[in-house]
């Protein structure tokens, strides 16, 4: 069956790699994630947001994710390590509903609340979840942009002085922190970037690794999570823009920085936007090149292939989780 994150995080923290947490809303994404994980023998976290649950229907989504374990076995993966995780849970009730219906892990995102309220809410979820051996991710610090339906125009980096108190008092199993990543395909404004004189491409400012180091100094070997970790591959942006799309100056986190974070105590890296871009690039290309095509399998099939390629690349070349399951 599905597993929680406890053992895989302990191994990842000590092994110097990170587990991919890929969001999914639909069958093609799920198939691509499982195929990529099975082919590379990588532990994987299937991540479902509140919006994804509403889009796909909570019942269907849950059965799809549970079916993914058998699907993985049918692909020759003997002992699949697959987590079903609620992404950005915003209330005790939502977390409880997921825990009661087969999720093996949940996030309670109280990062926008005053500190003491975040502690109280996270502890309440942990106390409930641990009765069912479900693991819990908490968050300290605020990412710029839209997170959990709350938007912020600037990052509030995690304060390393708070993390011991938060983790001890809540009992959470992992901690999401803010070090300069953000959700979506526009992680930096052109004004925050410099320009590569040769290619003309935007070059983003570095992440706040000093904050991550500060957290690690306070909480050695504690599983740290990075949200907003899509790299926004420029080849996808170019394909989208060349085929009728409009994503000017889309920009993400350089893979080199994610590689570095994965070698540190970061053991869960969240990626959603890159999969959306892979899918959109593939679909736009088919629509543009084969305007007579109207069988969804003829455009969702190529989209699925492109996502599988992307997920494998993340596992093998960025997070280092290949062969760990
Ligand atoms: O954190 C945000 C994830 O990318 C999920 O996004 O709420 O649009 O499903 P969503
Ligand atoms: P991206 O938008 O960078 O893919 O981040 C996804 C995420 O953090 C989901 O929780
Ligand atoms: Zn997130
Ligand atoms: Na790591």
pLDDT tens by residue, 188-213:
999 999 999 998 889 999 999 999 99
54 in ligand 1 pocket by Cβ < 6 Å? no
Listed residue (322, 273, 252) closest to 87, CA to CA? 273
What is the number of other CB atoms lying within 10 angstroms of the CB of residue 59?
A: 10
Of 12-26, 133-147, 161-175, 226-240, where does mean pLDDT reach its minimum? 133-147
How does residue 150 score in pLDDT terms, banded at 50, 70 and 90?
A: confident
> Looking at residues 128-152, what average pLDDT do you find?
91
299 CA distance to ligand 1 middle (Å): 23
49 in ligand 1 pocket by Cβ < 6 Å? yes
pTM of the shown model: 0.98
How does residue 153 score in pLDDT terms, banded at 50, 70 and 90?
A: confident
Which residue's alpha carbon is nearest to atom 9 within ligand 2? 270
Q: Which of 87, 148, 173, 274 is catalytic?
A: 87
308 in ligand 1 pocket by Cβ < 6 Å? no
289 CA distance to ligand 4 middle (Å): 42
Catalytic site includes residue 87 = yes
Yes or no: say if 3 and 81 are a contact pair by the CB < 8 Å rule: yes
Yes or no: say if 183 and 146 are a contact pair by the CB < 8 Å rule: yes
Best residue for ligand 2 mutational test, from 141, 228, 279 (most atoms within 8 Å of Cβ): 228
272 in ligand 1 pocket by Cβ < 6 Å? yes
Please name the residues in contact with 158: beta carbons below 8 A apart, sequence gap of 6 or more: 140, 141, 177, 178, 179, 211, 215
184 CA distance to ligand 2 middle (Å): 6
Give CA–CA dist 281/285, Å, rounded.
Answer: 6
For the chain, list the domains and their CATH numbers: 6-319 (3.20.20.70)
């Amino acid at each position: 069956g599905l597993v929680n994150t406890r053992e895989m995080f302990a191994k990842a923290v000590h092994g110097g790699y990170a587990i991919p947490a890929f969001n999914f809303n639909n069958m093609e994404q799920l198939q691509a994630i499982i195929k990529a994980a099975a082919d590379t023998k990588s532990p994987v976290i299937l991540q479902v947001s509140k919006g994804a649950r509403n889009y796909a229907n909570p019942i269907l989504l849950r059965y799809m994710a549970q079916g993914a374990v058998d699907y993985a076995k049918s692909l020759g993966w003997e002992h699949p390590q697959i987590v079903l995780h609620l992404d950005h849970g915003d209330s005790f009730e939502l977390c409880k509903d997921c825990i009661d219906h087969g999720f093996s892990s949940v996030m309670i995102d109280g990062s926008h609340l005053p500190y003491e309220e975040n502690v109280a809410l996270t502890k309440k979820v942990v106390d409930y979840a641990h009765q069912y051996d479900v693991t819990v991710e908490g968050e300290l610090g605020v990412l710029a942009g839209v997170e959990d339906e709350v938007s912020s125009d600037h990052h509030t980096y995690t304060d390393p002085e708070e993390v011991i108190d938060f983790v001890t008092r809540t009992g959470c199993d992992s901690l999401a922190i803010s070090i300069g990543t953000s959700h979506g395909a526009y992680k930096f404004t052109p004004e925050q970037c410099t320009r590569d004189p040769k290619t003309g491409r935007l070059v983003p400012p570095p992440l706040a690794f000093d904050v991550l180091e500060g957290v690690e100094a306070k909480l050695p070997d504690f599983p740290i999570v990075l949200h907003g970790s899509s790299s926004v591959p420029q080849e996808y942006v170019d394909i989208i823009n060349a085929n009728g799309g409009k994503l000017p100056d889309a920009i993400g986190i350089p893979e080199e920085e994610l590689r570095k974070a994965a070698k540190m105590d970061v053991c869960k890296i969240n990626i959603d936007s890159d999969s959306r871009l892979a899918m959109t690039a593939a679909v736009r290309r088919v629509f543009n090149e084969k305007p007579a095509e109207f069988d969804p399998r003829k455009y969702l099939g190529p989209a699925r292939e492109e996502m599988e390629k992307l997920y494998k690349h993340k596992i093998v070349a960025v997070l280092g989780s290949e062969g760990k399951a």
